[in-house]
Chains A and B, each alone.
Chain A
């Protein structure tokens, strides 16, 4: 059963670029990865899913709700795209409590949830008496991802979640995402340049090129060597 239904979606940026997705369904409980080179339209697609950019045409419907006409889908959607979405004058704790409360979690419940992320957050995010703006890029990334996950969303949308993270944190976030999906059945949509992580994590992989989905693969059933070959070919 589909959680996200995209129909005739189009986003134009002048004459140079347009993203066109005629029809796309994202199944409940799936992990969908979006891969592609820079400028392929990955972030634009995620922004359209979150109604952060106005579509030139078509629509995105999440759980039966057209995202452009409503705010109600936000109550079950967790997302983190970039650090511009953090409230950087808050401490990480304040930010987690705030996002938790927005989804009906009290302070105790947030603390309980945070315990599950303690290894991922390491010792440099919590209890440091620093505002988010004072954290390093990697720690800001961690704070953003945790805030998106802490509310237990049914749909989780992440843009380049492995960026800025050290290798251990990359492994940890991958495990956390797998757990979130398998235990809670969370539908996850994420983009990344890291093919190794994506091929191991995703149940479906969309390859984007110049605003068009050119491959729709289901690893491990589908051989990803085709995707690797594509990137090698692009590299020349």
Chain B
């Protein structure tokens, strides 16, 4: 085999591995039900974006009554690109999986770096805007050159954002690079919104206009930025390889925090609370969700402030998701989080009932800690929702948590809590989707009941949700006993499933 044939074989093999790693991903080994549900969810998302694209001219006409649709859209180009970049910085990953495998084989590092860059392009963040902008362009652009230039220009801007993200993520200290980028975006967004609003909109509109008029300098400059970023990314990757393969790198120290010591000091439940806390904060998937939930505290009141509800019940389905704090998310996968060490729990002198009880109190406490500041903010943002929110807290920490615990005994899938959070289908199942849908719709009969009560709606909602919640809170020892009994019966089944790879 000649050198060029050998190189060609390696490139072909690496590309085929890229396809195989996708085709053989855990998602495809899931049951048909979850595949259908997820594909359905994806189709709805694409359809919504498509509809958004069709309706965009009308929406833009409302916001910019003195502008035509295309210039109006272009004036938002820079804010959209900044928002897209922000999303990418948090969500888009560098496809560095399996790279360690290639580095000891006779494959050049340079080729591995090229592969990573190539692999990074087919990612959802490079495509999700297309269902939105394509129908819009088809509607408002003149057929022919203008339409094609609009497509080409948009694609160029997308790949530039992609390359910026990849360059940042290729650094040997990606967290630091991301922080710097976030600060820069924050400064630009703040300065743009506060002092240079008109200038940004004008610059943005001009960029779009130059693109559709086919200004070669804009395309050349864009291509040069793209190529430079790719070269810089490759250079950074070659340095980062050492870190990815360096098992001796130490990331911080594994010391106990003060919180752990406080939790451990609590009698009876302290031992399990300490374990729960450590599970949450020392693993990627759990800690990402856990650290994000404080953002909801200001976000929900802000949403209500910006989009004030006409009635009381408009936000009940959102409130179900947030009233229980991080616990609502975590308990969907309850017991699977411990799947990697459940053997140890089962073999030790650990009382499953106390274990479940401790877990329940822990997540009630977390939800309460979030509720208090949120109620304070709601007092200013939407005072009518104060009581419904408090009632919903009782409802979610009562019957909803009870339901999640009870159905959670059936969660026999193994979860690695240290794997990534985004697009991780480990632990997901058709049953889980049904559980979540059941939880969401469980509030509907209560809302109907609230309409029938002869009192103001906020009081009625509070009355029905709080009464149901308190009933479950008062009887929690009883239903926890039922959960632990069910758990004992399924113990061997779950333990064998947890051991499966």
Interface residues of A in 50-96 (CB under 8 A from B): 50, 52-54, 71, 74-75, 77, 79-82, 84-90
Q: Is there an interface contact between A54 and B246, defined as CB atoms closer than 8 Å?
A: yes
A43 to B104, CA, bound (A): 14
The 8 Å CB contact of B101, one of A14, A54, A74, A86, is A86
User: Residue B452 at the A interface, CB < 8 A?
Assistant: no
Q: Is there an interface contact between B247 and A43, defined as CB atoms closer than 8 Å?
A: yes
Q: Is there an interface contact between B17 and A53, defined as CB atoms closer than 8 Å?
A: no
* Residues of chain A lying within 8 A (CB to CB) of residue B115: none
Please tell me the number of chain B residues within 8 Å of chain A, measured between CB atoms: 30
User: Residue B348 at the A interface, CB < 8 A?
Assistant: no
Name B17's closest neighbour in chain A (CB-CB).
Answer: A87
Name A41's closest neighbour in chain B (CB-CB).
Answer: B248
A62 to B102, CA, bound (A): 19
The 8 Å CB contact of A89, one of B20, B104, B247, is B20
Interface residue stretch chosen among B106-114, B191-199, B481-489: B106-114
User: Residue A98 at the B interface, CB < 8 A?
Assistant: yes
CB distance from B53 to the nearest CB of A (A): 36
Name B23's closest neighbour in chain A (CB-CB).
Answer: A89
* Residues of chain B lying within 8 A (CB to CB) of residue A86: 101
Kindly supply a per-residue 1/0 record for chain B positions 1-42, scoring 1 wherever the CB is within 8 Å of any chain A CB and 0 otherwise.
100001001100100010011001100000000000000000
Specify which of B20, B108, B248 lies most central, judged by the most chain A CB atoms within 10 Å of its CB: B248
Q: Is there an interface contact between B108 and A71, defined as CB atoms closer than 8 Å?
A: yes
Q: Is there an interface contact between B247 and A101, defined as CB atoms closer than 8 Å?
A: no
A131 to B249, CA, bound (A): 29
* Residues of chain A lying within 8 A (CB to CB) of residue B248: 11, 13, 17, 43-44, 47, 53
A44 to B250, CA, bound (A): 13
User: Residue A200 at the B interface, CB < 8 A?
Assistant: no
The 8 Å CB contact of B105, one of A14, A84, A89, A102, is A102
CB distance from B38 to the nearest CB of A (A): 20
The 8 Å CB contact of A79, one of B104, B246, B247, is B104
CB distance from B297 to the nearest CB of A (A): 37
A43 to B105, CA, bound (A): 18
* Residues of chain B lying within 8 A (CB to CB) of residue A163: none
Q: Is there an interface contact between B246 and A53, defined as CB atoms closer than 8 Å?
A: yes
Q: Is there an interface contact between A90 and B17, defined as CB atoms closer than 8 Å?
A: yes
* Residues of chain A lying within 8 A (CB to CB) of residue B101: 84-87
Specify which of B25, B107, B245, B250 lies most central, judged by the most chain A CB atoms within 10 Å of its CB: B245
Q: Is there an interface contact between B24 and A89, defined as CB atoms closer than 8 Å?
A: yes
Specify which of B6, B17, B105 lies most central, judged by the most chain A CB atoms within 10 Å of its CB: B105
17 interchain pairs, CB-CB under 8 A? A13-B248, A16-B250, A52-B245, A52-B246, A53-B248, A71-B106, A71-B109, A84-B100, A85-B101, A85-B104, A87-B102, A89-B20, A89-B25, A89-B98, A98-B17, A102-B105, A103-B106
Q: Which residues does B use to contact A, with CB under 8 Å?
A: 1, 6, 9-10, 13, 17, 20-21, 24-25, 98, 100-110, 242, 245-250, 501
